[in-house]
Amino acid sequence: MKKIGGITKRWLKDIFSVILVLVLSVSVAACLFIKAYYYTSIKNVLETNSGELITTFFNIYGANSEDGFAVAGREFIENCGMLDLMEIWIVDNSGNVLVSSSGFEVSAQPNMPDFIEAMNSPSGKATWIGTFGSGEKVMAMTESVLNTDGTAAGAIRYIVSLEDVDSQIGFSCLIIGLIAAVIIVVSTVLGLAFTRSIVRPLRNIGNVAGEVADGDLSVRIENYKYDDEMGELCGKINNMIEELNAADRLKNDFISTISHELRTPLTSIKGWGETLMQVGDTDPALTKRGMTVIIGEASRLSGMVEELLDFSKIQSNRMNLQLKKIDVLAELDETVFTFRERAIKEGIEIIYNAPELPAPMEADEDRIRQVFINVFDNAIKYNYHGGRVVVLAQITSPTVLEISISDTGRGISAENLPRVKEKFYKTDNTVAGSGIGLAVADEIVKLHGGTLNIDSILNEGTTVTITLPIEAVSYTDEKEVQDEEEKNSN
């Protein structure tokens, strides 16, 4: 037999135990209520035969002597209409039974606690529940009868058998017990079925999570049929595994890409190194060309390594900005100038429009330039011969600088656009690069309190918009302000 544990055990301990105690308590309370109801009803019936009617009746027939009291008692019994429900005794002050409605003589003085209590009670009444010598359970009520002078003439004792009543009470309690048992059984079955509907998916989730932890990303949670939170959880875990699988493929693609990106310059450096060793000093021109290639490829490798280190710092929140006041537009001017020659060689036109005004801000100069270089590099790298790169910078408010860099290149599909800033993601694996440049640039811009947004249409081009907070610029020369307004209006 499988040991019960976990959620099922907790349900049995915390919930089922409460249900059990509650059902049993209600059942016991119901049984006690039924018993009290029956006994109280019997007592009320007995009391309906007492009161002023008895005293009046005995006064009419006479109760001042023992014979007169006995005669009055017989008359009272003969006129009582409930002899089929009870037995009536006429008892004198000494406790002797003078008359019995059963017709049988009660020879020995019976045990009558209610008689003793009634004769000594100011109310003159008392009730007793007990067992006769025959073993029959009864309820007896005794009420004293007074003479005309107020002295006790004797008592009337009503006796009702409780055997049938107790049988009825027992039957009712049995029905209640059966109902309680059904409730407990149904609650148990439904509770175990409900906990099983939770435990089974959780076990399945645990098994799948264990396999995922062991590196198997092909597993999925199958056959979850509940359209509730558990089904939603299973669906989200499956989606998470899909994302992990995609991230794993992306990582593998990145490793493959970066390996290729590293191998290409290393092969070039090795090849030129071997060539220069063979040539020696015999061909200065070849040596100069070889050294130029080696230096260039080494710089390329250095840039890739720095990019990886930067991303690692960003991921671990270890990138520290060297903040100082810089002119952002001056950095943009320098970047455009740096890429202009490369653009001309590749047949790409650069159109640059920026205000001839300062855009001061507290920033890391090298990191801001790194962002511009990365975006410009992509704009040229993914462009076509004969294409254009349009750079527009404008101060949209006294404290906001907006720079847009648009190209007429390959563009990005709507499917890939939301992921272009993800780490290691590349839309075209045939183009050189590690795939983390935009991710690094986006994080650097965020660290400066700005935003980097990308809009693109496939085969039409891409626009990268960088927004940076700057210090408010004050214009002291009215002519400068007018010139700038005219320039922006044009």
At residue 49, the pLDDT reads 61
At residue 479, the pLDDT reads 47
Q: Pick from 463, 422, 417, 418: which is nearest to 439 by CA?
A: 422
Q: How far apart are CA 41 and CA 230, in angstroms?
A: 55
Burial profile 245-264: b = 16 or more Cβ within 10 angstroms, e = fewer: eeeeebeeebeebbeebeee
Q: How far apart are CA 413 and CA 418, in angstroms?
A: 9
CATH topology of domain 48-161: Beta-Lactamase (3.30.450)
Say if domain 323-489 classifies as CATH 3.30.565.10: yes
Q: What is the 8-class DSSP label of residue 4?
A: P
Helix (H, G, I), strand (E, B) or coil at 344: helix
Per-residue pLDDT of the chain (490 residues; tens, 9 = 90+): 455 556 777 777 777 888 888 899 999 999 999 999 998 888 887 777 665 456 555 655 555 556 667 777 777 777 776 777 788 888 888 788 888 887 777 766 678 888 888 888 888 888 898 887 678 888 888 888 877 667 777 888 888 888 889 899 999 999 999 999 999 899 888 888 877 777 777 888 888 888 888 888 888 877 666 677 777 888 888 888 888 887 777 777 767 767 766 777 788 888 888 888 887 777 788 888 888 888 888 887 887 777 777 777 776 777 788 899 999 999 999 999 989 988 999 999 999 999 988 999 999 998 899 899 889 988 998 899 999 999 999 999 889 999 999 999 998 888 888 878 776 666 654 444 556 778 888 989 999 999 999 999 998 999 999 999 999 866 554 445 455 555 555 5
Taking every pair of Cα atoms in the chain, the longest distance, rounded to a whole number of angstroms, is 163
Nearest 5 degrees, angle CA 404-CA 410-CA 415? 90
What is the pTM for the complete model shown?
A: 0.50
Beta strand 451-457 with 400-407: parallel, antiparallel or unpaired?
A: unpaired
> Rounded to the nearest 5°, which phi and psi values hold at 142?
-115, 135
Beta strand segments in 229-312, E? none
Number of C-beta neighbours around residue 389 at 10 A: 24
Say if domain 251-315 classifies as CATH 1.10.287.130: yes
Whether residue 69 contacts residue 45, with contact meaning beta carbons closer than 8 Å, is answered with no
At residue 3, the pLDDT reads 52
At residue 51, the pLDDT reads 55
SS (H, E, C) 9-28: HHHHHHHHHHHHHHHHHHHH
